[in-house]
Structure 1
Amino acid sequence: MSSARLASLLRIPQRTITSLTKDNSKRSQRFLNYDVVIPTEVSPTLRVPDHIVKPDYAQSGIVLESLEEVEIKTPDAIKRLRDSCRVAREVLDKIGDNIEAGISTDELDKLAHSFCIERNAYPSPLNYKWFPKSICTSINNVACHGIPDDRKLKEGDIISVDVSVFLNGYHGDCAETFAVGALDEKGWNLVETARYCLESGIAVCRNGAKLSDIGDAIQHRAEESNCSVVPNFCGHGIGTYFHGPPTIIHFEHDSDEVMKTGMTFTIEPVISEGEDEIAVLEDGWTAVTLDKSRTAQFEHTVLITDDGAEILTRSPREA
């Protein structure tokens, strides 16, 4: 793959969609068992108490992160990162417990915000490049970076919740897709495929392995289930910075960059049941599929070890 092609795939399209109500029956007729989501009213941004330690961008929205090389974590850094990842997972599990038909994503955001404050953690998305909320909630055809609003969840929805926290100077990051009540067979296939894609990407991680092995494994697993990888969203290095090197690409590509013991990064593929094209709405964040197909996303923060990867955001509920 050429560098120009890779760059074009990784760049979020500049095209915006001003209306999702226009009929697009040829593209959407395959996807009829769920609502096509249109963003609604967003409530005012919540305040974080003064005693909570905040990242640099918390007040200004301006991100000053400038890490140029992949960081190998020290034992102390790994301990701090484990703590932040543990809290991020606790918050995500708490949100999952409250997902049901009739609750709005704004209410979920308020719960997540409160859970973070209770644990003396700052919700990392809040005011990051002026994102207005504490979590991302992406429903059905919203591929990523959905802004919590007053739309109430409905039976048959699928919702991806992305939780990140800043604690003791380090960010932890994880995501999961949840079904709201009963879900059609194709929807379950999508959700389970997305889960297995993440697991497949993690399974190839170890000291000395190529970073590109992750994307190869994820794309192969997605295609086995007749799904596609949305190429615009990547995993990333994480630590005292929210996003940094290395960039984790979730589709097949050529790269000689290798994993090293002590590296930490996220793996977070967005998987579509339809085509892989997206566009970003006028709010500058909400990414939706052009064919209105559903997507699902799972994410973990991982630490590379000599013989594999330690999942720092694994839920204690997982076997």
Structure 2
Amino acid sequence: MIKVGIFGTGRIGKIHIKNLINHPKVDLKMVVDPFIDEDFIKALGVSFSKDEKDIFENPQIDTVFICTPSDTHYDLIKKSILAHKIIFCEKPIDLDLKRILEIKQLVEKENVFLQVGFNRRFDSNFRKIAKEIQEGAVGKLVQTRITSRDFSPPPRNYVEASGGMFLDMSIHDFDMLRFITKKEVQSIFVNATNLVTDYGDIDVDTAFLLFTLMDGSLASIENCRSAVYGYDQRIEVLGKDGRIFCDNKYDNSVILCNKENESRENPLDFFLERYRDSYKNELEDFIFNVQNNNPPSVGIDESIEATILALAALQSHQQKQMIEIASIKAKYAL
């Protein structure tokens, strides 16, 4: 039984709180949020506070979940490490790679378990694709294509604090590219613009990202902040011996056919619906590794690599040229 304190009662926090409460190997001791949703927490019968010390100074709590806004993660992780807690933190650890590297040093020094919330690795479709590729089902990789489009764009204030599309949205896809191919990226070229939102003065909302992987194969990521037909999440991989792909998820599998056309419902339109099961699978993986003294499946190194790709994408967009990933790593002596 792990005894958990969780920071944050926003959208992601509520998903984790519900999953933690319903898990037989978890005792949720405390929820902390300075702007706590008291009605939500009281309905669940969970203890709550607005003071983070009620988690850090509670000897009965051995594990923390950090589900707060991105700009709070760094400080909460540092305090959790120094309190010798087991840590799960939603991505990102931080928007500054130097600060992520500081956390890495502290994690290694204090020998603390830290898992990062790249939940899409635990989607059953994506895991199946990754497994088949590693078992050679499609042979040598030729092309990998990831399509990731939001149903509707986030508000301006969210974008302003998020680090921008590459560090907030695309970073999931950078992690997915490494996860399904098990290959590192050699170079990246980005063509990005603003087409569907009214905050073009602060960020792009539409992008094509082209990659050359270290094995010479090619990859692409298509991102957009708005797709009116639903939350568009697809992956296709072409190999010399075949092709593997997965479609979007739908509320049902019914297709209507008549003399005029063939139709079905639009894809699910919200990421919490599309990836609901992945969060449950992620929790199972976290608990298994903690209880069996295994390293985290998705640790700080995965966060570092995804952040490096996000920084390379941003630089490519700004400079309108291809960026070698080695040049980004060299800046940080990696």
Into which bin does the TM-score normalised by the smaller protein fall?
A: under 0.3
TM-score by length of 2: 0.25
Please, what TM-score do these two structures have when normalized by structure 1?
0.26
Q: Is the helix fraction higher in 1 or 2?
A: 2
